[in-house]
Amino acid sequence: MKITIKEASKDNFEELMFFRLLLLKHDSHLDSGVHYTIENIQNSVKFMKEYLKKNDNKYFIAYHNSLPIGYLHVTHDDKENKQNSYLSELYVLDIYRSFGIGKELTLFQWKYLKKMKITNNTLTTTMYKNKRTIDFYKKSGYVLIKENKIENIVYLSREL
């Protein structure tokens, strides 16, 4: 399957919010303790608008033909001598999973980060009911750093 990945801008805001809302729904399905209110969603909209203005936040969107099918959000400290980044969000539409879209998005992210001289990429994800996602990250070279069973989170990291 041929996909194209592009860096998002404020012009892609509606596509990004669509994916963000799907991700919120997905997260609440995995963790019954997660509840999203109108206020949470409004804050999500506000933060995404702000992130799109900053150089240290990048969104990448995967397209199949012209259809947006997934996205990735990465943050990094763009101040001098900072080498760490954080994979904040990765989401691929259900019907496009298992076609390598997530892998392509992470590879695209790593190329971008290497150009920025970033050497480490970390992430957190839900611990329970999320084996497939955790296995995906481990296959991609991320190493489990720690687990927080109380907060239902695993921490993973990868050298670039």
The residue with greater pLDDT, 127 or 123, is 123
Mean pLDDT of 17-31: 73
Give the pLDDT confidence score for residue 30 in this predicted structure: 56
Per DSSP, 88 falls in state E
User: 31: left (phi > 0), else alpha (psi -120 to 50), else beta?
Assistant: beta
CA distance 103 to 86: 16
pTM of the predicted model as reported, rounded to 2 decimal places: 0.89
32 pLDDT band, cuts 50/70/90, is: low
pLDDT at 137: 97
Contact between 101 and 69 under an 8 Å Cβ cutoff? The reply is: yes
Contact between 8 and 60 under an 8 Å Cβ cutoff? The reply is yes
Pick the CATH number of 3-159 from 2.70.98.60, 3.30.365.10, 3.40.630.30, 1.20.910.10: 3.40.630.30
User: pLDDT at position 22, please?
Assistant: 82
CB neighbour class for 120 (10 Å; exposed up to 12, middle 13-18, buried from 19)? middle
Is residue 72 scored above 60 in pLDDT? yes
